[in-house]
Structure 1
Amino acid sequence: MKVCIVGGGLCGLVSALELAGAHQVDLFERRPIPGGCLGSYRAGDYWIEEYYHHCFAGDTSLLNLFDELGVTERLEWLQGSTGYYVDGTIHPLTTPTEILRYPHLTLIEKMRLGLLTLRSRRLDVSMLDGITAKRFILDNLGPGIYASFFEPLLKSKFGERADEVSAAWLISRIAIRSDRGAGGERLGYLRGGFQQFVARLEEEAAARGASIMLDSPVTEIRRKGDGWLVDGKAYDCVISTLPPQVTADLADIDIAPIPYQGAACMTLAIDRDVTNDIYWLNMKDKAPYGAVVSHTNFAPLEWYGEHIVYLASYFAGRLSDGFEQSMLSDFCRRFSVSKDEVHWHRLAVDPYAGPVYTTGLKDRLPAYEEHGLFLAGMFSPPNYPERSMNGSVIAGQEVAKRVLARYPDA
């Protein structure tokens, strides 16, 4: 049987890996590199992701796949420190002492925040899908914590839709980030970058017989009898990993849209650290980015020979003209960096970087099969209420299981 997979991100590559050998598999990826949001740049003699990534100790399916592909020996468990940029000042918020010194929350507010962090893993997030994160924080922690701590985080992540985001997303986010000791969060990263993982996925899927076609965008999916035509080529089965509304347009069928947002992420290299050894610096002050992620305050500097920094921004619609220059100029001004100090910079833009986890989203997620098409991706149940590499691995495996159940014979 001939299977077409549309989209060569993590979910699509995992689906190809699971189905190759049992069926003839063609995977189409519009970009010249595989991996989707896990794609990487080649910078000199190293690889670096276009969008910052790390994994967690609870990512069982992802870690099992690392084992299967022989990349586990590259996995390093590192410490991720955090901070807040407020009124032009960097405030570290990693250790208990640093949190106690943070001047923009009272001692009582800090205690309430700490108790919520402890409770987060015990809360049933499915019961929080209909409550906004804003209402949950206001009701449980008060307006001071919301205004000083959570509102800037929500707005930097979701922009104009921040007030629509569910408490299910927020509590899930807090829970997954509560695996921390005195030195910060315990986060996983592959020595040499996640490019090592993507390359092994592509290599193993191809070794099992999958054809992975890069720089090959799909422009039309049409039903023909019991099968499908994808850009005029006949297939028995189609898996789309694109956002549901994009698939609906390509196939001219009715699939309920999922709210998505875009991401603009600048990666740049400089000679020195500008965030005081902090890995993840959230921006409370208004800026063209919501976080400064100093990758080499997380992964060892000697792997790269230069400091790697990400500037993370999310958007709806389209970016304003001159956005790239305004982002770089703001960073240089705010952190006293001369543009001559920037070795290189690149801007990655994806208008469909991920779902916006609005209230009620849980009941609007599409099934793995709609109108005879198979669907899986960041919008699938394993990526609710927060997307992750682990969720995309599970979604890719789950949709492959359904294809194999429907079409058991090659």
Structure 2
Amino acid sequence: MKICIIGGGLTGLAAAFRLAGSHEVDLVEKRDHLGGCLASYDRERYWIEKFYHHCFVGDDALLALIRELGIEDRLEWLKGTSGYYVEGKVYPLNTPLEIARYPFLTLGEKYRLAMLTLRAKKLDVDALDGVRARDYVLDNLGEGIYRSFFEPLLRSKFGERSGDVSAAWLISRIAIRSHRGLSGERLGYLNGGFQVLVDALGDWIGKHATFRLNDPVTVMGRTGDGWMVNGRHYDRVVSTIPPQELARISGIPLAPVPYQGAACMTLAIDRDVTDGVYWLNMRDPAPYGAVVSHTNFAPVDRYGERLVYLASYFTGELPPRHDRVMREDFCKRFGVREEEIRWQHMAVEPYAGPLYTTGYRERLPDYAQDGLFIAGMFSRPNYPERSMEGSVRAGYEAAELAGRM
């Protein structure tokens, strides 16, 4: 069969990896590069992701793909430390002593929080789909833990929609991040960045399929025996773009999926400003929800400079001058002089990921939709928390259906 895959992000690449060789495959991508949200900046001496990424020990499909591509030797397991920024101070929260010293939770609240972390993997997240995360925390852990720990996380991640997010998302996030030692979390990263994965997939697929870059899908419709996409005929179409975008292009009535956007600023500076912490959540209100110091995770000597992400999410339109507001706040809050910033890049993605509001599970779309196949961050393997693992699985599952029907 001749199959068109729309979208060159990780889901589209995974689908192409499964279909190319057995079928005639065209992968159509609107940008001039592959990777989607996994794409990287080329800094000449190194690659660095536009949006911070790491993987987890339980990512079976992703890790198997890395092995299959022959890049397992690039995979390394690093320590990911975390903490909170409160009232102008960094509080690491990794070792028992650091947690004991954290002054914004009582001893009883710390105990209840620790017990939730231990129980998270055993909880039925499907049963929590209709429960708001806010209500779950208030009912089970108390207001102190909600105000001091979870409310800032929800606010930074979902903004004005934070009150609508389900407890299923929150518990899933706790569970996936519970593989911790006494000093931090064990996280996976590729030496050379995840551009290594994108390149390996691109090299393999390119030998068995056709890439059509700089080719946004503008015209798409049925024919008697298949589909026309940008004037080319296909027997099958696998789309990895948001359903509402596919509906707009094709005219097929697909239920929209609530999405949020991400605006992620990458800065290069000469010194560490987060006291060795990799992932620093902002409890204090700020125009970004977290400061992610990449070079407190991956070794700084690989880059020759310290790399920091300022992570923010939005619904609707990105606030005006947001890049300038983020940079100015960061410099003031962390005592960074403007001349200390070597360079900066701002990546903005309006469809960065689904909003896991209550009732989302019932809105999960099937892969087969009105004669075509759809998969992406909105698919079941990415519920109730999106990940590279979920994107690979979604691509595989859609490809299996498209290739046999």
2:291 aligns with 292
TM-score (norm 2): 0.99
Q: Quick check: 214-223 or 387-396, which moved more?
A: 214-223
Alpha-carbon distance in structure 2 between the residues aligned to 1:62 and 1:320: 35
Give CA deviations for 1:277-310 in whole Å, capped at 9, x if unaligned.
0000000111110000000000001111100000
What runs of 5+ residues in structure 1 fail to find an aligned partner? none
1:164 aligns with 164
**Percent of pairs with identical residues:** 62
Q: Aligned partner of 2:352: which letter?
A: A
1:187 aligns with 187
After superposition, where does 1:7-406 map in structure 2 within 5 Å?
Answer: 7-207=7-207, 209-406=208-405
Deviation of residue 80 (structure 1)? 0.5
What runs of 5+ residues in structure 2 fail to find an aligned partner? none
Q: What is the number of residues matched between the two proteins? A: 405
Alpha-carbon distance in structure 2 between the residues aligned to 1:4 and 1:119: 43
Aligned CA RMSD, in angstroms, stands at: 0.7
Deviation of residue 264 (structure 1)? 0.2
Alpha-carbon distance in structure 2 between the residues aligned to 1:63 and 1:316: 32
Deviation of residue 148 (structure 1)? 0.7
Alpha-carbon distance in structure 2 between the residues aligned to 1:135 and 1:248: 35
Alpha-carbon distance in structure 1 between the residues aligned to 2:357 and 2:13: 28
Q: Aligned partner of 1:6: which letter?
A: I
Alpha-carbon distance in structure 2 between the residues aligned to 1:211 and 1:343: 38
TM-score (norm 1): 0.98
Give CA deviations for 1:332-382 in whole Å, capped at 9, x if unaligned.
111111111111100000000000111111111110011101000000100
Deviation of residue 44 (structure 1)? 3.0
Deviation of residue 220 (structure 1)? 2.2
Alpha-carbon distance in structure 2 between the residues aligned to 1:257 and 1:214: 26
Alpha-carbon distance in structure 2 between the residues aligned to 1:96 and 1:22: 53
Which structure 1 residue ranges, 4+ long, deviate > 2 Å from structure 2?
none
Q: Aligned partner of 2:9: which letter?
A: G
Alpha-carbon distance in structure 2 between the residues aligned to 1:310 and 1:339: 16
Alpha-carbon distance in structure 2 between the residues aligned to 1:384 and 1:347: 28
Alpha-carbon distance in structure 2 between the residues aligned to 1:225 and 1:151: 53
Deviation of residue 212 (structure 1)? 1.2
Alpha-carbon distance in structure 1 between the residues aligned to 2:343 and 2:134: 39
Alpha-carbon distance in structure 2 between the residues aligned to 1:72 and 1:137: 39
Q: Aligned partner of 1:58: which letter?
A: G
Deviation of residue 226 (structure 1)? 2.2
